[in-house]
């Protein structure tokens, strides 16, 4: 078990690093846990992963908070709504087969990647286009949809959030990444509370993974702030491409 924990800590560090920049760390951390801990129930692995993930996301948010201007008054309604609907999504997951969503999400991700690649100026300028009231109202709608999706299914949540904050709100990549972290903390906290109360968190594995995730997230956020929006854009495209490949494999090659 000691060897497995060392490997998991490495993958948690890498997941935290990527997640702090553009999201998508779960693509690394979750499969690693499934491979290295096949004897553990999936629910326990998901709960343990949430403990590590929320630790790193919170650390990244704190790092962004000192360097990126965040309109907390407008983002918090989004986060609160996402928190509530993430829990509702988690409770709904058993009633509807998630496999039916894969083709739809795959097409959406391809559209996101294509649009971002073709629009060279996408996310390069920070020019919020909504009024204060509109940001709050649109944010609540985003929190409802993304929160439910994250609790119900999950993969690609960070990428969708960044795309929405850039395309709809007019943020640049750096501000979008910081804002996405606030919503991600809310949705992860909602799911983590469910796993904690149902005793489905392996703390002896989750705590060291959380420490490594925090280290990776802090480094990733610091690099993103220093390199700026151009660097984040490239990273975003790489991560979205990886998510598309995984979706395509899960949808067509596993069946």
Inform me whether the pLDDT recorded for 91 exceeds 80. no
Q: At 135, is the pLDDT very low, low, confident or very high (cuts 50, 70, 90)?
A: very high
Task: Determine the pLDDT at residue 223.
Answer: 94
Task: Determine the pLDDT at residue 6.
Answer: 94
Distance, in Å, from the CA atom of 252 to the CA atom of 21, rounded to the nearest integer, reads: 29
Which percentage of the chain shows pLDDT scores above 70? 95
What beta strand segments (E) does 16-165 contain? none
Residue 226 neighbours by CB under 8 Å, 6+ apart = none
What beta strand segments (E) does the chain contain? none
> The tokens 């948690």 sit on which residue?
12
Averaged confidence pLDDT in the chain: 88
Inform me whether the pLDDT recorded for 52 exceeds 60. yes
Contact 48, 33 (CB under 8 A): yes
Other Cβ atoms less than 10 A from the Cβ of 42: the count is 13
| Prediction pTM value | 0.85
Distance, in Å, from the CA atom of 242 to the CA atom of 18, rounded to the nearest integer, reads: 12
Task: Determine the pLDDT at residue 255.
Answer: 57
Own/partner long-range contacts of 246-253 (Cβ < 8 Å, ≥24 apart): 246/27, 246/155, 247/102, 247/105, 247/106, 247/109, 247/155, 247/156, 248/106, 250/102, 251/99, 251/102, 251/103, 251/106
Q: What is the mean pLDDT of residues 116-142?
A: 89
């Amino acid at each position: 078990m000691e060897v497995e924990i060392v490997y998991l800590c490495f993958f948690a560090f890498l997941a935290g690093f990527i997640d702090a920049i553009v999201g998508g760390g779960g693509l690394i951390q979750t499969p690693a846990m499934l491979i290295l801990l096949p004897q553990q129930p999936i629910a326990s692995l998901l709960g343990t992963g949430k403990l590590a993930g929320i630790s790193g996301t919170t650390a990244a948010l704190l790092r962004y908070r000192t360097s990126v201007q965040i309109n907390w008054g407008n983002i918090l309604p989004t986060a609160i709504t996402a928190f509530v609907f993430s829990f509702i999504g988690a409770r709904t997951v058993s009633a509807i087969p998630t496999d039916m969503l894969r083709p739809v999400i795959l097409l959406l991700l391809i559209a996101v990647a294509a649009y971002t690649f073709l629009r060279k100026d996408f996310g390069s300028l920070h020019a919020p286009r909504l009024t204060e009231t509109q940001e709050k109202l649109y944010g609540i709608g985003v929190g409802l949809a993304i929160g439910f999706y994250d609790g119900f299914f999950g993969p690609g949540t960070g990428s969708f959030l960044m795309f929405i904050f850039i395309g709809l709100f007019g943020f640049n990549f750096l501000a979008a990444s910081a804002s996405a972290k606030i919503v991600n903390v809310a949705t992860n906290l909602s799911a983590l509370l469910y796993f904690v109360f149902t005793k489905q968190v392996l703390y002896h594995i989750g705590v060291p993974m959380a420490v490594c995730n925090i280290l990776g997230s802090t480094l990733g956020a610091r690099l993103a702030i220093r390199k700026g929006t151009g660097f984040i854009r490239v990273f975003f495209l790489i991560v979205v491409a990886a998510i598309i490949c995984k979706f395509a494999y899960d949808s067509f090659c596993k069946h």
